[in-house]
């Protein structure tokens, strides 16, 4: 059976086809490019028989995806919700449903890959850190601005623009304002991770900024593309 998986984040839509239990190549679009017609074309081109969606972009986006799916012949698309407990993982939140489904799914995927204590860092528009012990108990997490959002906040109400700025390959003292801000924001994110994640604990890195963050860490890590999509796949596999 062919099942299409969608991970709808704050700035991008990512998808992959789960074909007979094997996840195919992951792809993505910015929200600006993800028109109704573009999404319908993705669904039609996949030849899928069912749709599984993780959405953190709000209720209107969910209604829109449901409508597109129905028009594409998918009568009952599945929108995954954060749970109290599933796949050997227990949610730490006092109100479990308020834990972002993307964070939940990233931990579900990591738990399926590693049965000891671990941390998951998902680095995109926000940087999230979540800890899980060897018994699968979520210990809680942290949320910080991602690199682009941090830079946008820093240059707000100035004449500077962040459109073409990218994180530095290494952080050092700089002699111009642009590079000093880039280095400061990159160092803030790397410093948060180095402070909060014990060096002897397994660390999974995922998200659009994971590659450059990994290069700044003086420790071992597992760089995993599409950890949220892998979590969606776990739900699709048992459905």
State the catalytic residues: 102
SS3 185: helix
DSSP letter string over 102-161? HHHHHHHHHHHH--S-EEEEEESSEEEEEEE-TTSBEEEEEEEE-HHHHHHHHHTTSS--
175 appears as a binding residue in the annotation: no
30 appears as a binding residue in the annotation: no
177 appears as a binding residue in the annotation: yes
102 appears as a binding residue in the annotation: yes
**Tokens matching residue 164:** 């073409």
94 appears as a binding residue in the annotation: no
DSSP letter string over 31-74? TTT--HHHHHHHHHHHT-SEEEEEE-S-HHHHHHHHHHHHHTT-
11 appears as a binding residue in the annotation: yes
20 appears as a binding residue in the annotation: no
Binding positions for ATP are 7-14, 125
Binding positions for K(+) are 122
Binding positions for substrate are 93, 100-103, 177
Binding positions are 7-14, 93, 100-103, 122, 125, 177
């Amino acid at each position: 059976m062919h099942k299409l998986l969608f991970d709808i984040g704050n700035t991008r839509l990512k998808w992959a086809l789960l074909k007979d239990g094997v996840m195919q190549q992951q792809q993505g679009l910015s929200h600006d490019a993800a028109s109704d017609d573009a999404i319908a074309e993705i669904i039609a081109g996949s030849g899928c028989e069912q749709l599984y969606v993780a959405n953190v972009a709000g209720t209107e986006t969910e209604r829109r995806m449901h409508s597109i799916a129905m028009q594409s012949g998918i009568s009952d698309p599945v929108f995954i919700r954060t749970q109290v407990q599933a796949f050997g993982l227990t949610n730490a939140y006092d109100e479990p449903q308020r834990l972002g489904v993307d964070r939940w799914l990233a931990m579900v995927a990591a738990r399926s890959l590693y049965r000891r204590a671990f941390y998951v860092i998902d680095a995109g528009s926000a940087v999230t850190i979540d800890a899980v012990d060897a018994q699968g108990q979520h210990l809680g997490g942290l949320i910080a601005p991602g690199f682009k959002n941090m830079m946008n906040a820093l240059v707000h109400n100035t004449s500077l623009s962040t459109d073409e700025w990218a994180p530095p390959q290494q952080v050092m003292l700089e002699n111009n304002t642009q590079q000093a801000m880039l280095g400061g924001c990159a160092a803030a994110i790397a410093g948060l991770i180095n402070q909060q994640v014990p060096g002897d604990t397994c660390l999974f890195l995922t998200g659009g900024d994971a590659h450059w963050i990994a290069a700044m860490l003086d420790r071992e890590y597992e760089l995993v593309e599409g950890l949220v999509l892998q979590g969606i796949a776990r739900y699709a596999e048992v459905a």
